[in-house]
């Protein structure tokens, strides 16, 4: 029993060491760990602006992110995912595990031992699932930001990505209230990248490095993907 406990503690410490070596401005930093009996805990840096999940709704009484901050967060998330993929790491990306520091710099969190896997252990296409989730997160951020969709009150009957695709493909402006021209370009770029990421076939989705490149590039060189993505109202990991 004691030998098994010691072996388990050693394995835990080795895994913590692996996570501790992760250093990127868009991945939450591991500060330390604690072992007490059978209990184990990981300690991460404090993120004062909390989870991105609480900002996705723009209902009265909640805090809404500006379009500029949304774009900054999207680019930061893409850079963090790309960093993890370069080290062959896959993590289930969701709004609630994107944390925001005092400057609204996004950091990927929830890198607990049970949720952080080498790609080789779970299949080579797993990083494409990360891209799909990332694309749907961008869509959700835009959808909940407010007044981008004139049918916002009836979204249960409207598939938002399909609506966005048609608007952009037909050369129509996305409804964004008093947004500046630069903010409109940022959001259009975000939506085109999102549409690429949610392509039906995983092999048609871009690499994470390509996603970063697309977000950093001028909107004028962005190419629309085929209209080939799952046509359902609620998304799930693909």
Domain ranges in the chain are: 47-221
Give the per-residue pLDDT at 209: 93
Q: Is the pTM of this model over 0.85?
A: no
Nearest to 161 by CA among 226, 105, 238, 101: 226
CA dist., res. 116 & res. 114, Å (int): 6
Tell me which fold the domain 47-221 belongs to: Transferase(Phosphotransferase); domain 1 (1.10.510)
CA–CA separation, 187 vs 117, rounded Å?
32
| CA distance to 27, 111, 195, 209, per residue, from 103 (Å) | 15, 22, 28, 24
Q: Which helix (H) or strand (E) holds 117?
A: strand 117-118
pLDDT given for residue 66 in this prediction? 87
Alpha helices (runs of H) in 92-156, residue ranges in sequence order:
119-122, 126-145
Q: How many beta carbons lie within 10 A of that of residue 40, not counting itself?
A: 17
Residue 30 CA to residue 191 CA, distance in Å, equals: 32
Residue for token pair 């909107």? 219
Residue that has been written with the tokens 């109202």 in this structure: 233
From first to last of the 238 residues of the chain, give the pLDDT tens digit: 334 455 567 878 887 888 888 899 999 999 998 888 888 888 999 999 999 988 865 454 456 788 899 999 999 999 999 998 887 676 778 888 999 999 999 999 887 654 555 555 444 557 788 899 999 999 888 876 655 555 554 544 457 888 889 989 998 888 787 788 999 999 999 999 999 999 999 899 999 999 999 999 987 778 999 998 765 444 444 4
d(CA 216, CA 213): 5
- What value, to the nearest 5°, has the Cα angle with vertex 106 and ends 101 and 108? 110
Q: What 3-state class would DSSP assign to 14? A: helix
Which pLDDT score, from 0 to 100, does residue 15 have? Answer: 79
Are the C-beta atoms of residues 130 and 99 closer than 8 Å to each other?
A: no
Number of Cβ within a 10 Å radius of residue 16: 17
Mind telling me the catalytic residues? 92
Which pLDDT value is given to residue 61? 43
């Amino acid at each position: 029993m004691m030998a098994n406990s010691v072996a388990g503690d050693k394995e835990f410490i080795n895994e913590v060491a692996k996570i501790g070596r992760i250093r990127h401005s868009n991945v939450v930093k591991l500060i330390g760990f604690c072992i007490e009996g059978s209990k184990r805990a990981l300690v991460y840096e404090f993120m004062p602006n909390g989870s991105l999940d609480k900002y996705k709704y723009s209902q009265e009484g909640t805090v809404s992110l500006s379009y500029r901050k949304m774009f900054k967060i999207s680019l930061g998330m893409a850079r963090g995912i790309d960093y993890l993929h370069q080290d062959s790491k896959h993590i289930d990306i969701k709004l609630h595990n994107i944390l925001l520091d005092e400057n609204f710099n996004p950091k990927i969190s929830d890198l607990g031992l049970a949720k952080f896997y080498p790609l080789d252990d779970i299949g080579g296409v797993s990083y494409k699932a990360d891209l799909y989730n990332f694309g749907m997160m961008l869509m959700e951020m835009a959808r909940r930001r407010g007044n981008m969709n004139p049918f916002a009150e009836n979204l249960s009957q409207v598939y938002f990505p399909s609506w966005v695709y048609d608007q952009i493909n037909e050369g129509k402006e996305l409804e964004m209230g008093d947004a500046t021209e630069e903010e409109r370009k940022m959001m259009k770029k975000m939506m085109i990248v999102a549409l690429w990421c949610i392509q039906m076939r995983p092999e048609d989705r871009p690499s994470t490095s390509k996603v970063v490149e697309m977000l950093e590039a001028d909107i004028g060189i962005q190419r629309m993907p085929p209209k080939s993505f799952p046509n359902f109202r609620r998304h799930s990991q693909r």
